[in-house]
Amino acid sequence: MPPARRAGGQTGTDPYLWLEDVTGENALNWVRKHNEPTLTQFGGARFEQMRSAALEVLDTDARIPYVRRRGDHLYNFWRDASNPRGLWRRTTLESYRTEQPEWEVLIDVDEIARVDGENWVWAGADVLEPDHSLALIELSRGGADATVVREFDLTTGQFVTDGFELPEAKSSVTWQDRDTVLVGTDFGPGSLTDSGYPRTVRRWLRGQPLADAQTLFEGEADDVSVGCGYDATPGFERLLITRSFDFFNRYRYELRDDTLIPIEVPTDAGISVHRQWLLIRPRTDWTVGSATYPAGSLLATDYAEYLDGSGELAVVFEPDEHSSLENYAWTRDRLVLVTLVDVISQVQVVTPGTWERVDIPGVPPKTNTVLVDVDEYGDEIFLDSSGFDTPSRLLWGVAGGEVAEVKRAPSFFDAADLEVSQHFVASADGTMIPYFVVGHRHRQAPGPTLLNGYGGFEVANTPSYGGVLGRLWLSRGGTFVLANIRGGGEYGPTWHTQAMRENRHLVYEDFAAVARDLVARGITTVEQLGAQGGSNGGLLMGVMLTQYPELFGALVCSVPLLDMRRFHLLLAGASWMAEYGDPDDPDDWEFISKFSPYQNISADRRYPPVLITTSTRDDRVHPGHARKMTAALAAAGHPVHYYENIEGGHSGAADNAQTAFRSALIYEFLWSMLSAASGPRGTGRVR
């Protein structure tokens, strides 16, 4: 049996285990050695043209500066050619609605990085409510999930000397009041879960040593995480604690003084607490008394009454075979719902109490519309509406009224010849799987086609405008396909739950069915069909490579999970066992072993060429997955190309320049492999 066949197996020795040493000298030398031939083969003149074209899209000042309201100001984080690490800035609504808003720059990340001598990447800000005078700023080294936290004064525009500050860790931190924060971080041995996230929630007072912060709640080592939030709404102040015992199930509590009050809802349900209301979205059917509420419903009740056992449930939304709830958010007095009907969005506003739903006037029909920002202390809403061939339009208005366009993104490619169509194909078990095709109206023959999918964690893939995709793929004559396979959330939680654990094979059967249908419809040929996916979608690509290689001409596998025998031992992997199963459980390993790509490499089957990309700084999905798979594929004699960015975190890129570089590399690889379909398949194996 070839070594690659045994790599990482349950009983065999993993010959590439040393590649899991993320920053080890030998491992990084291996990375450099394998980056070089990939860049040599695909880093030519055409790559440079595409990189420049992608960077122009990402850096242009004409794109929409998306905002979030905090008090009297609209806040935005902005990157461009002059500010590659970015600016955190703010303006007023009056100024924002002009062609050239006047921005007040609060934080210049490039300048902080220069002064500190660190490769800082912006990771977000938590602003004190309701007075908006202070913020907790998170910065990441190279784009990792782990961050440092610093307190920033929004009135002086300076970091607070001797303020709240946390060293690098996967922390959770939020304000309770201006002199108190609620924090979960690495307090030393035993303070993190097996997944590497906070196990305790503590109350930290200004001026107090972090080690002396009062413990409010402690979870178990095998939990995913423990977290908390504070509702500062005047008259409705409350401290909520969450104990996530797996990725999809959690216990919730309100802490009143020193009393922990359980919020008795299904552990797999999502909840929202706003003023006097509690919203509940169960992920599985929920029976209460004589009523059964289907998975994916949205239910409302009075929060205080529900906690004392007297609250009645009202149905706000109930799904059917075509519709699902995608998202919701509160303004002060209204609820905004985004639903999907066969993966096409619809936006409505709901009046609490009566729970009457009406469409929001001004939202363009048959577009993908998402919530950008909703002011929970006022009535303002921002929506973004776009499509595969329609650039984003930012809509502004008030809940209960009409929304109107306030910003429009430029067109980055000529879409006049493009048409978008939606198709359905029967998967192996007969379930109809939808997918979108973005193709060229006058094309008579099959052509290079890129199929994208994800299929996990109830994440819905919806139509949206991609300037880089348009310039680097569609404008060159390529066709793009988005598959809405099971495992995602396009039809609500059951679209996901039916494809978990032992039923994971449904995800892969769905994607394979779409690939076959594209060929059957004459949209493409096997030799011209490529596919791309990242993270859980990278696992999808690994399965396509090892189980369905005859369906594709090339594959791109980014920041992937691939060694499913050891995924739960690497970084945040333990948190995903609810999705995939527990490899240490023999019954679970029985089904995991059938789809784990690293354990199913064959030296006998012919594989399409594959580009595997990852990031050294990805502290969510371990880069060892990508490294070991590359080494094992090469040893088995398969055409494999590899690129690892030393920065970038789980996104694979730390700034626009790195994003443009990675995009150009991927599209150049795909075009090289798929556009010459009549010739031999790609070579250039990595050894």
The CA-based dihedral angle spanning residues 149, 153, 154, 159, taken in that order and rounded to the nearest 10 degrees: -60
Cis peptide before 130 (omega within 30 of 0): yes
pLDDT in tens, 438-476: 999 988 899 999 999 999 999 999 999 999 999 999 999
Q: Which tokens belong to 23?
A: 């920053």
* pLDDT of residue 175 exceeding 50: yes
User: Which residues are the active-site residues?
Assistant: 535, 650
What is the identity of the amino acid at 263? I
pLDDT in tens, 62-71: 999 999 999 9
In the CATH scheme, what is the code of domain 3-55+412-674?
Answer: 3.40.50.1820
Question: What pLDDT band is residue 483 in, cutting at 50, 70 and 90?
Answer: very high
Mean pLDDT score, 316-341: 96
Question: What pLDDT band is residue 392 in, cutting at 50, 70 and 90?
Answer: very high
Q: Which tokens belong to 368?
A: 């993908």
Position 442 scores a pLDDT of: 86
- Residue predicted with more confidence, 400 or 202: 202
* pLDDT of residue 1 exceeding 80: no
Using an 8 Å Cβ cutoff, are 268 and 599 in contact?
no
What are the Cα distances from residue 332, in Å, to 23, 234, 276, 369, 453?
Answer: 48, 12, 11, 21, 37
pLDDT in tens, 24-50: 999 999 999 999 999 999 999 999 999
Three-class secondary structure assignment of 369-417:
EEEEEECCCCCEEEEEEEECCEEEEEEEEECCCCEEEEEECCCCCCCCC
Mean pLDDT score, 601-607: 97
Neighbouring CB atoms inside 10 A of 49's CB total 13
CA distance 460 to 458: 6
Average pLDDT of the chain, as a whole number? 94
Percentage of residues in the chain having pLDDT higher than 90: 92
Using an 8 Å Cβ cutoff, are 455 and 487 in contact?
yes
Number of helices (H) and strands (E) in the chain: give both, helices first: 14, 39
Position 655 scores a pLDDT of: 83
Mean pLDDT score, 277-283: 98
Using an 8 Å Cβ cutoff, are 410 and 392 in contact?
no
Closest of 406, 410, 403, 332 to residue 93, by C-alpha: 406
Percentage of residues in the chain having pLDDT higher than 70: 95
CA distance 248 to 284: 11
Which of helix, strand or coil describes residue 76? Answer: strand
Neighbouring CB atoms inside 10 A of 430's CB total 6
Closest of 523, 593, 529, 583 to residue 556, by C-alpha: 529
The CA-based dihedral angle spanning residues 191, 192, 198, 200, taken in that order and rounded to the nearest 10 degrees: -30
Position 654 scores a pLDDT of: 66
pLDDT in tens, 85-144: 999 999 999 999 999 999 999 999 999 999 999 999 999 999 999 999 999 999 999 888
